Amino acid sequence: MKPRRTKDRQDYYYWKAKEKGYRSRAAFKLLQINKKFNLIKPGYKVLDLGASPGGWSQVAAELGAEVVAIDLNPMPPIEGVIFIKGDITQKSTLEAVKELGVDFDAVISDASPKLTGKWTIDHLISIDLAKASFNFAKNFLRHGGNFLVKVFQGEEIEAFYKDIAPNFRFKKFHSPQASRKRSAEVYFIGKGFKRKPRKEK
């Protein structure tokens, strides 16, 4: 039996994703964020970190981007999306993306740790993963490019912001309507990446 669509946003977006053929309800978070902040434009090259099952990659491809997606877990193919199975904290994954020889216009990361249910631990692991996403992204993000990363709120979030914010012209935390009301997640949005000049080889 279908849950009622009235009060519970979780159910609402779950069924809406099914209806529209998206692989995850998270697809609507990216749609809402992109509507507001215009991070992905047609023709953009987008790197999607923690991409499986592929809702964000579907949205980015629909917006007219060429997408490279990475995840620890497998991801069923999506037209226009190159998938690399790997861990963003591992050098081998970095090397696999380097081999593509692409500078990306946007890097988006919805990567999540396996939740323990303990707020503080989940927060700290998510901060580490968000930092890993940025460390990965900065190798490939073009000067002026856009960055989006999920993080769970908690006491380290200010320090995280202080570290990452100077790398961008525009920076902000945002919670899209499609995020669950009770969820700790927020998204850091950085636009206008200040890329450091590459060292000559």
Q: Please identify every residue annotated as catalytic.
A: 150
**Which neighbouring-strand residues pair with 47?**
68, 107
HEC string of 13-29 equals HHHHHHHHCCCCCHHHH
87 near ligand SAM, judged by CB under 6 A: yes
What stretch of H or E contains 64? Answer: none
Give the nearest distance from C-beta 196 to ligand SAM in angstroms.
24
- Cα 4 to chain center, whole Å? 29
What residues numbered 119-138 form the site for ligand SAM, per CB under 6 A?
A: 129
CA atoms of 187 and 172, how far apart (whole Å)? 8
CA atoms of 196 and 59, how far apart (whole Å)? 30
Member of 6, 7, 35, 73 binding ligand SAM (CB under 6 A)? 73
Member of 110, 122, 156, 185 binding ligand SAM (CB under 6 A)? 110
Amino acid identity, position 29? K
27 near ligand SAM, judged by CB under 6 A: yes
Stretch that binds ligand SAM, among 18-26, 39-47, 169-177, 191-199 (CB under 6 A): 18-26
6 near ligand SAM, judged by CB under 6 A: no
Contact footprint for ligand SAM (CB under 6 A): 23-24, 26-27, 50-56, 70-73, 87-89, 110-112, 129
